[in-house]
Structure 1
Amino acid sequence: MIDGGGPRLGPARRQEAIAEQILARGDITAGELAELFQVSLMTIHRDLNELERQGLVRKLRGGVTAQPSSVFESNVSFRERSMRAEKEAIAARAAELVEPGMAVMLDDSTTSLALARRLEALAPLTVVTNFLTTIELVAGMPGIRLIALGGDYDVLHNSFLGVSCTDAIAALQADLCFVSTSAVTGGYAYHQEQHIVPVKRAMLASATRSVLLADHTKLTRTALYRVARLQAFDRVIVDAGAAPEALQELDQLTRSLDVAALLPPEAP
């Protein structure tokens, strides 16, 4: 039992604990959750309905998941926990493209967030982003001028989207734009959700150079909406975990391909 035999959790605290379980495991059945929290299946389904309404999880028949699908993106908290080493390797390679004095545009991906953590060392910079997590991170960095893109707040992505956001992007011209997408296949970058696509396209159109950041799991996924041709990006950066045949195909379909080696683990 999740609370070790103590008093049962109230609804809000139980839902928070359920979300933590789902994010840690990726997916779980309703029956397993009912046993863990010592409540009825009906109660668990009410909790899951609320978590789904908040965009934290996605209900399946008999269970729930934080994993992405071809038409649903995963919650930002789950994405931050996944493929960390690969994202750090890609971010390290991407940071080599950034020079002091540049205006850098970052999308609402957790891969671009890994890059954002490295930008203080490259200041002075102007950073443009719609990702609230990056906004909060960069706002405290000395030497960084922050332009926060507003719009309609989306809780699932913790970012600002919509017409107000794309209009704000169109008024700017960045030196470098870094974006990530949900899937890369057949010469195109894809995303599962339609309302995300216009923002990424606007960023690509408002930058002198653009870079696609994609860990190797993106090369085996499918998604519904085309964002752009791979040829639209000046550079594509993937990690060394990609299969040789996938790298060979990408090399033929991209203008410039970088393969980032995984970084050695930090000393304790």
Structure 2
Amino acid sequence: MSQPAELSVRQRAIVDQLQQHGFIATVDLAEEFGVSDMTIRRDAKRIAEAGHARVVHGGISPTHVSGHSAFFAARAREHAEGKRRIAAACIRLLSDRDVILLDAGTTTYEIANALPSSFRGTVITNSLPAVYRTRQLPAARVIGLGGELLKDSQAFVGPMPIQALQGLRASIAFIGISGVGEGGCFIEREHERDIKLAAMAATDRIVVVATHDKMVRSALAHLAQFSEIDYLVTDAEPPADVRKQLESAGTELIVASERLDRSLHPVSSPARLLR
């Protein structure tokens, strides 16, 4: 979307965030930019006048649909900085022509946001927001898996995406989870388990992504043992027992710290790069 010159630097930054995250609360923008709510409301009015957004109750939304539901946008704002650091670390695992499989979820969506415009590979995904985001990459091939759309999480599920995956092969898959604990990785929704397992079966390398709040958290459905995944990428040092389990399983741990140039801290056990 073109941005008129009369928008300020801060206003252009707000427009960029809207395209990535959908609805943004006024109070969050005021805190991020260190200005008053009134200043942000004036910014929002100017951005709306320029045709880039709509002013809504409590915040601002993009004028163009970006594949987000209100639930998804709210979840995306939780631990947003940690998710961005995780995404940056995941990008370092890629070449510019990889075939990548992106699971649905807000952390994996940040990986879609982090893909550079020079990426010339293929993105396979069951995430509606990831489809919207990656279609903006000029040289990338995007394959949407289709299926039944879950309105809140914006994920496609059911037999259709699973059948589609049976004829595809990715070089690396990024899988979102809800919890890490004794026995491996867990998810909240059992009906998303089959599509995640199908994605894991259709790739050479499996990368599980999880923010620090999901460490030692119980969830409904068991997804995988640590020995079944190649990498776990998180944004803070996990508890000692989790690190020990990863080392025993031969799974590589990547901690995406605040200093991205120091963000990769693998355990000593080598990853199983090819299955």
Bin the TM-score by the shorter chain: 0.5 to 0.7
Does the 8 Å CA contact 2:135/2:142 hold for their aligned counterparts?
A: yes
Structure 2 counterpart of 1:195, from 181, 191, 194 = 191
2:159 corresponds to 1:178: no
1:62 maps to none
2:123 corresponds to 1:131: no
2:160 corresponds to 1:164: yes
Letter in 2 for 1:197: R
Letter in 2 for 1:212: V
For residues 81 and 154 of structure 2, what CA distance do their matches in structure 1 show? 22
Task: List aligned pairs for 1:202-217, cutoff 5 A.
Answer: 202-217=198-213
Please report how far the alpha carbon of residue 210 of structure 1 lies from its aligned counterpart in structure 2 after TM superposition. Answer: 0.9
Instruction: State the TM-score, normalized to the length of structure 1.
Output: 0.68
Q: How many residues align?
A: 196
For residues 122 and 220 of structure 1, what CA distance do their matches in structure 2 show? 37
2:81 maps to 85
Q: Deviations along 1:8-40, whole A, 9 cap, x unmatched? A: xxxxxxxxxxx999xx9xxxxxxxxxxxxxxxx
1:142 maps to 138
2:254 corresponds to 1:258: yes
2:149 maps to 153
Does the 8 Å CA contact 1:88/1:263 hold for their aligned counterparts?
A: no
Letter in 2 for 1:222: S
For residues 178 and 250 of structure 2, what CA distance do their matches in structure 1 show? 17
For residues 200 and 114 of structure 1, what CA distance do their matches in structure 2 show? 18
Please report how far the alpha carbon of residue 157 of structure 1 lies from its aligned counterpart in structure 2 after TM superposition. Answer: 1.0
Structure 2 counterpart of 1:229, from 218, 225, 231 = 225
Does the 8 Å CA contact 1:120/1:142 hold for their aligned counterparts?
A: no
Please report how far the alpha carbon of residue 206 of structure 1 lies from its aligned counterpart in structure 2 after TM superposition. Answer: 0.2
Identity of aligned residues (%): 27
For residues 159 and 180 of structure 2, what CA distance do their matches in structure 1 show? 26
Which deviates more from structure 2 when the two are superposed, residues 247-256 or residues 183-192? 247-256
Letter in 2 for 1:136: Y
2:112 corresponds to 1:116: yes
Query: Which consecutive unaligned segments of at least 5 residues does structure 1 have?
Result: 1-18, 25-55, 58-74
Query: Which consecutive unaligned segments of at least 5 residues does structure 2 have?
Result: 1-22, 29-68, 261-275
For residues 230 and 240 of structure 2, what CA distance do their matches in structure 1 show? 22
2:72 maps to 76
Q: Deviations along 1:127-160, whole A, 9 cap, x unmatched? A: 0001000101111211110001100111021121
For residues 167 and 96 of structure 1, what CA distance do their matches in structure 2 show? 30
For residues 186 and 207 of structure 2, what CA distance do their matches in structure 1 show? 15
Q: Deviations along 1:148-201, whole A, 9 cap, x unmatched? A: 110011102112100011111111000110011000111311111111110100
Please report how far the alpha carbon of residue 222 of structure 1 lies from its aligned counterpart in structure 2 after TM superposition. Answer: 0.8
Please report how far the alpha carbon of residue 258 of structure 1 lies from its aligned counterpart in structure 2 after TM superposition. Answer: 1.1
Does the 8 Å CA contact 1:237/1:259 hold for their aligned counterparts?
A: yes
Q: Deviations along 1:36-86, whole A, 9 cap, x unmatched? A: xxxxxxxxxxxxxxxxxxxx89xxxxxxxxxxxxxxxxx422220101111
